[in-house]
Structure 1
Amino acid sequence: MLDTALQFIEANKANALDELKQFLRIPSISTLPENTGDVRRAAEFLAAELKRIGMENVRLIETAGHPLVYADYLHAAGKPTVLCYGHYDVQPPDPLDEWLSPPFEPEERNGNIYARGAVDDKGQLWMQVKALEALLKSGSLPVNVRVLAEGEEEVGGEGIAEFLRAHPEEVKCDVALVCDTELFAPDLPTLCVGLRGMIYTEIEVHGSKTDLHSGMYGGAAPNPFVALSQIIAKLKDADGRILIPGIYDGLQKPTDAELAAWKSLPFDEEHYRETEVGSSELTGEPGYSVLERTWARPTLDVHGMPGGFTGAGAKTVIPAKALAKVSLRLVPGMTPADTFRKLQDYVATIVPRGVSVEIRMIHSGDPIVVGTDNPFIHAATEAMHEVFGKETVFVRGGGSIPVVGDFARQLHVPTVMMGFGLPDDNLHAPNEKFNISNFYRGTESIVRFLVHAGQ
């Protein structure tokens, strides 16, 4: 079975890449209402391919937002069931003028494929589809497989979370496979065993009942943007330490073994600063390494402050309201609900005179750490070792994949996070890319993982 599947992958490399390009051409931007039809079109494209390769019970599952795509193949009696997860929605491509090629017209350059969604997550989802096709062409699957893909990961994943809460029996499995992470370095097989959670909020400050002329009212009327800036300035100190009372209480620290393993990774801080961050220096809490700060410490960031006058020229207005989009990344020992409450309580104590503040939760996700001593992690480790010829390393990720926490809570199963992106793939940024050789190596690794899981 394995040899036949690998031969099929090799013989159909060009077809697999052409199909991925078709998938990438669909602008399935989940956050923009004007792209709702495109998101559904991407779901239908994925469902049609799953049906074509021989998966069964393929259907769209409607949610309050964008649909889920489901399929299964449950003919491996006595074998475990693997739930293959991915998402077919993508981030907006802005700013468009920084793309070297159109974001929804895939282009091959320098051994990479460039397009929005190339690595996050259409390319990695397509690896799973092609791995299943290769095994089905060899006769059958070595394990039972369910596929569940969503179209709302980039906007919080509420639809899939609600489905898992209401219908856990429909996706009963022994392990979930998520291909939405990255290799720590090129050619270094990597399994992600931890993710930060998050709360994404909006802080809105209200001042006057309407916009005012700054010449007539400046000096008497409160300015919501000034007030909002004062609030934001009190959320963190100059060293990056979050000032919300109690925010660091009860944090679960990495083990000594994890910290030792992280120190042994091929990480060059100066190279990271120059090539990935591009700033004059790195910032953050003193006393912690870069990997600790990005993987195992809470953070708070401001993403935008829309409102007021931002057009060309001048307009001397005191806006009636101001808004900031603010998120916190959470680590084990923190929960979204408790963190949001602490943020609300603290902001209430620092509101400047003359304004009122409203804080809204947009979406959230729990932090997660997966134990490495289970047979599915062992199967993934062996699969990647066979493909890359090197020992697999375990890392955590600084980002959030909310559904991983849902799998743990609702299905009570571990998740194997086996991703094949690279640190410089520009997720959520212009010129997103996916290394084409990693696309093929990822497909082979998934085939080998499913075979090992069946053993």
Structure 2
Amino acid sequence: MKAKTESYASQHRERHLEELKELLRIPSISTLSEHKKDVHRCAEWLSGALTHAGLENVEIMPTAGLPIVYGDWLHAPGKPTILVYGHYDVQPADPLDEWHSEPFEPVIRDGKIYARGATDDKAQLWIHVKAAETFLKAVGSLPLNIKFILEGEEEITSPSLAPFVEKHAEKLKADAIVISDSPMLERGKPALLYGLRGVAGVEIEMLAARNDLHSGLYGGGVPNAVHALAGLLDSFHDEDGRVAVEGFYDRVIQLTEQERGELARVSQDEGKIREDLGLSELFGEKGYTFTERTTARPTLEVTGISGGFAGEGIKPIVPARASAKIACRLVADQRPEEIFELIERHVAVHTPSGLKASVKRVLQGNPFLTPADHPVMVAAAAALEEAYGEKTALTRGGGSIPIVDVFERLLQAPVVMMGFGLPDENLHAPNEHFDLDNFDKGLQAVCVFWEKLDNQ
């Protein structure tokens, strides 16, 4: 089977790339209303591409916003079902004068294809479409069942995705979700992203008197909202950099020695980080590396503070109000709702007598973790290693990707972040591109991955 798929992919490579160029020519910019027709046109083009690949039940499904393209092939009874997600919308191309070629007229230079949307995410989703075509045309069937969901709103935070997935949960039901919209470590070094941090954000307001007071008349005799808030913010961490909110770490899944070893393989040079950032020292939770702190440990950061008079000169007052914004990055199995409650309790305990403090919940998202030893992850890692001839790195991301939480929460299936982009491919920037070596090896890796899932 492998010989057939590799032969077909090689024979049809030029056609596959010409079709990719057609896809990249469509300016499917979801952020600009004048390109709404182009986004719809792109959905129609992909609908035709899925049909040509041999997928069935292909349809353009409406949402409250821009459409989602669906297609499937479900003729492998007893075999796993995977749901492949991708997005066909792109960012605006500005600033246009910094492009070396037209952003929506793709060109190939030095083994790379240049165009807006090349790495984010059209070439990456195209790998999966062509993998399905390769099996269906060369072998006559797929080694498993497959469903595609391609959306047009990812670049505007996917507002219609969660309601769509919730409404069509039975239709989208799968044993695993596969997403190719992330980078490898570097050229020739594949990686699987198996964890992402969640987020919980709050705004705290500290209230003292009804209004600001003259410091000559009242200073030293009334509470100062800025002083009180500063003390409260200081109470959020201990001297070792740990979050001092009671219960904050109770649900945290501790890193295993194997995980720490994997993260050590991809750890950044802390000396170079200090130099690049102009810092004399890094900061963080004692006992963890910079990479562990920024990807696999929870945090609480003060992101903004205001109060009193901040204009030129000094205004002699006792401030009546002060406020701060806080963002927590969460790891499995922490939940934003519980963190909100813990912060609210901490604020109540540490608010000085005579003042009032309120906490407003403003931002939340769950962390994501697919255990690295999950069978689907083992198969994906082995497939990447076979295609690239290099051991697959298992990494975590420090940020959040809302769509991952949507799929994991609503479909209750493991998510495999199997990216084929490179960190320096200028996504969202001029001269965005995609390395065609990763198109070839990515196609091979996906085909091998599907076969390995078939054999589990």
Is the Cα–Cα contact under 8 Å of residues 83 and 148 in structure 1 kept in the other structure? yes
CA separation of 1:93 and 1:331: change in aligned 2, threshold 3 A: farther
- d(CA) in 2 for partners of 1:234, 1:97: 47
- d(CA) in 1 for partners of 2:241, 2:367: 20
Is the Cα–Cα contact under 8 Å of residues 85 and 177 in structure 2 kept in the other structure? yes
In the TM superposition, 1:230-309 aligns within 5 A as: 250-263=251-264, 265-269=265-269, 273=273, 279-281=277-279, 285=284, 288-298=288-298
* 1:447 Cα deviation after fit: 0.9
* 1:3 Cα deviation after fit: 1.7
- d(CA) in 2 for partners of 1:136, 1:90: 29
Larger Rg: 2
- d(CA) in 1 for partners of 2:234, 2:431: 35
Partner of 1:367: 367
- d(CA) in 2 for partners of 1:35, 1:46: 17
* 1:256 Cα deviation after fit: 2.6
Is the Cα–Cα contact under 8 Å of residues 128 and 443 in structure 1 kept in the other structure? yes
Q: Deviations over 1:190-220 (max 9, x none)?
A: 2221122346x898x9xxxxxxxxxxxxxxx
Partner of 2:330: 330
- d(CA) in 2 for partners of 1:10, 1:79: 27
Partner of 1:60: 60
Is the Cα–Cα contact under 8 Å of residues 266 and 393 in structure 2 kept in the other structure? no
- d(CA) in 2 for partners of 1:110, 1:173: 39
Partner of 1:142: 143
Partner of 2:177: 176
Give the root-mean-square deviation of aligned CA atoms: 4.3
Partner of 1:418: 418
- d(CA) in 1 for partners of 2:113, 2:241: 36
Partner of 2:85: 85
* 1:377 Cα deviation after fit: 2.0
Give the SS at the match of 1:377.
helix
Partner of 2:405: 405
Greater alpha carbon shift after TM alignment, 126-135 vs 112-121: 112-121
Is the Cα–Cα contact under 8 Å of residues 79 and 143 in structure 1 kept in the other structure? yes
- d(CA) in 1 for partners of 2:112, 2:302: 31
Is the Cα–Cα contact under 8 Å of residues 266 and 395 in structure 2 kept in the other structure? no
Give the SS at the match of 2:78.
coil
CA separation of 1:283 and 1:47: change in aligned 2, threshold 3 A: farther
Q: Quick one: which amino acid aligns to residue 48 of structure 2?
A: A
* 1:244 Cα deviation after fit: 8.8
CA separation of 1:389 and 1:46: change in aligned 2, threshold 3 A: same
Q: Quick one: which amino acid aligns to residue 290 of structure 2?
A: V
In the TM superposition, 1:301-320 aligns within 5 A as: none
CA separation of 1:372 and 1:270: change in aligned 2, threshold 3 A: closer
- d(CA) in 2 for partners of 1:402, 1:148: 16
CA separation of 1:235 and 1:421: change in aligned 2, threshold 3 A: farther
In the TM superposition, 1:37-116 aligns within 5 A as: 37-116=37-116
Q: Quick one: which amino acid aligns to residue 437 of structure 2?
A: S
CA separation of 1:111 and 1:241: change in aligned 2, threshold 3 A: farther
Q: Quick one: which amino acid aligns to residue 152 of structure 1?
A: E
Give the SS at the match of 1:63.
coil
Q: Which structure 1 residue ranges, 5 or more long, are not aligned?
A: 206-229, 305-323, 351-356
1:16 aligns with 2:16: yes
CA separation of 1:387 and 1:41: change in aligned 2, threshold 3 A: same
Q: Deviations over 1:296-323 (max 9, x none)?
A: 234688999xxxxxxxxxxxxxxxxxxx
Give the SS at the match of 2:118.
coil
* 1:95 Cα deviation after fit: 4.4
CA separation of 1:59 and 1:359: change in aligned 2, threshold 3 A: farther
Is the Cα–Cα contact under 8 Å of residues 2 and 135 in structure 1 kept in the other structure? no
1:157 aligns with 2:138: no
- d(CA) in 2 for partners of 1:278, 1:436: 31
Give the SS at the match of 1:83.
strand
- Percentage of identical aligned residues: 45
Partner of 2:167: 166
- d(CA) in 2 for partners of 1:402, 1:141: 30
Q: Which structure 2 residue ranges, 5 or more long, are not aligned?
A: 206-229, 305-323, 352-357
In the TM superposition, 1:342-381 aligns within 5 A as: 361=362, 365-381=365-381
Q: Quick one: which amino acid aligns to residue 449 of structure 1?
A: F
- d(CA) in 2 for partners of 1:192, 1:9: 26
Partner of 2:314: none
- d(CA) in 1 for partners of 2:273, 2:246: 30
* 1:132 Cα deviation after fit: 0.7
Q: Quick one: which amino acid aligns to residue 182 of structure 1?
A: P
In the TM superposition, 1:187-202 aligns within 5 A as: 187-198=188-199
- d(CA) in 1 for partners of 2:326, 2:64: 25
* 1:74 Cα deviation after fit: 0.8
Count of aligned pairs between the two proteins:
414
Q: Deviations over 1:207-239 (max 9, x none)?
A: xxxxxxxxxxxxxxxxxxxxxxx9xx99999x9
Is the Cα–Cα contact under 8 Å of residues 340 and 361 in structure 2 kept in the other structure? no
Q: Quick one: which amino acid aligns to residue 162 of structure 1?
A: P
Is the Cα–Cα contact under 8 Å of residues 344 and 359 in structure 1 kept in the other structure? no
- d(CA) in 2 for partners of 1:430, 1:303: 29
Give the SS at the match of 2:120.
coil
Q: Quick one: which amino acid aligns to residue 447 of structure 1?
A: C
